[in-house]
Amino acid sequence: MGIAILNGILTSLGELKANGTAPSTETPASLPSEFIACVRSQRSADRIIKTLGDNASGVNVVRNDNVASVKKADVVLLACKPYMVKGVLGEAGIADALKGKLLISVCAGITVEDMETALYGEVPKQSPTEDGRCRCVRAMFNTAALIRESMTVIGISDPPLSDESEKLITWIFKQIGDVVYLPPNNMDASTALAGSGPAMFALMLEAAIDGGVAMGLPRAEAQRIAAQTMRGVTGLVQSGEHPAILREKVCTPGGCTIGGLLVLEEGGVRGAVSRAVREATTVASQLGKGVQGVNGTRHN
């Protein structure tokens, strides 16, 4: 998923250059100009180059040399698996290489405190502005970054980031979709809703498609109809329409819509979807702690 962020940034910079578009007031004073992708295996390096396509020429892919790469960077994006964070940040020389820099993690369940503990052995008592260590920022985005339609939630920093740092972080994630800032205690729920949400919505979409196919629609057309319908509803909600009002507008007395909705209510769909978000939130909160089998603890 880190590749999706990188590709979004490179594509945006390419568009700015090609169109000669003047940076907006939301654009940071200094945009990224050099990119290094750190990987372990040649297979990963090949995958990055293949995925980036024409954008690959603007990226230096480095294998097994995180410290040297971090020393050259001003901003570091941590996009590994949660269980790998301790090893990556605990590598000798990384903490020193990160001094005074911006470290942005998109690893599910990994808090700012987790990052600082991995780097320094404990959460430092002084603020980063006092001791000069790196600023750790937590963010969560989703798979729609691949088409630059992600929803990214960024944890509000304490102490606050400089205006320029916040503007840069916002700009980075705006290249792959929309951005919102929330307090750190909202990040696990944001991981569930924004990060896991696409899979949940895809399941609902798949169920609607299957229903159409069961009633005689060709699958390709059923998928097209259902996907565009979901997209249209999303657009209406984003324009300010409340979901409940939207639902009520479609429910004419004695009509097919209210009949279908009652079946969903009888099946407990509303509660099941809400519970799925709650369950995913619980699991997300445990990922950074290395807890195994969290999903197996839910019985009611």
Which two three-digit tokens encode residue 192? 């569930």
Sign of the torsion formed by the C-alpha atoms of 175, 57, 94 and 163: negative
- Binding-site positions read 66, 79-82
Helix axes 219-238, 197-214, angle to 10 degrees: 130
- Binding-site positions for NADP(+) read 79-82
What distances in angstroms separate CA 7 from CA 16, 156, 202, one per listed residue? 14, 25, 24
- Is the pLDDT at 297 greater than 70, yes or no? no
- φ, ψ of residue 40 to 5 degrees: the values are -100, -40
Q: 214 and 291: one domain? A: yes
Q: Is 117 helix (H, G, I), strand (E, B) or coil?
A: helix
Distance (Å, rounded) from C-alpha 117 to C-alpha 213? Answer: 52
**DSSP letter string, 138-181:** EEE--GGGGGT-EEEEEEPPSSPPPHHHHHHHHHHHHTTEEEEE
pLDDT in tens, 29-56: 788 889 999 999 999 999 999 999 999 9
CA atoms within 13 A on the CB side of 203: 8
Q: Both ends of the chain: CA-CA distance in Å?
A: 33
Q: 15 and 112: one domain? A: yes
pLDDT in tens, 66-104: 999 999 999 999 999 988 999 999 999 999 999 999 999
- Binding-site positions for NADPH read 66
pLDDT in tens, 165-202: 999 999 999 999 999 999 999 999 999 999 999 999 99
**For position 20, what pLDDT does the model report?**
67
Q: 263 and 157: one domain? A: no
Sign of the torsion formed by the C-alpha atoms of 223, 224, 228 and 231: positive
Instruction: Tell me the residue range of the domain where 238 lies.
Output: 197-297
pLDDT in tens, 206-232: 999 999 999 999 999 999 999 999 999
Distance (Å, rounded) from C-alpha 269 to C-alpha 191? Answer: 21
Which two three-digit tokens encode residue 128? 């980063």
Q: 211 and 107: one domain? A: no
CATH number at residue 174: 3.40.50.720
Task: Tell how far CA 263 is from the center of its chain.
Answer: 33
- Total domains in the chain come to 2
pLDDT in tens, 264-292: 999 999 999 999 999 999 999 887 777 77
Q: 173 and 220: one domain? A: no
pLDDT band at 23 (very low <50, low <70, confident <90, very high): low
Q: 10 and 143: one domain? A: yes
Sign of the torsion formed by the C-alpha atoms of 114, 118, 119 and 124: positive
**Burial environment of residue 136 by CB neighbours within 10 A (0 to 12, 13 to 18, 19 or more):** buried
Q: 107 and 254: one domain? A: no
Q: 152 and 209: one domain? A: no
Distance (Å, rounded) from C-alpha 27 to C-alpha 21? Answer: 12
Contact by Cβ (8 Å): 70, 98: yes
Q: 164 and 203: one domain? A: no
- Is the pLDDT at 115 greater than 60, yes or no? yes
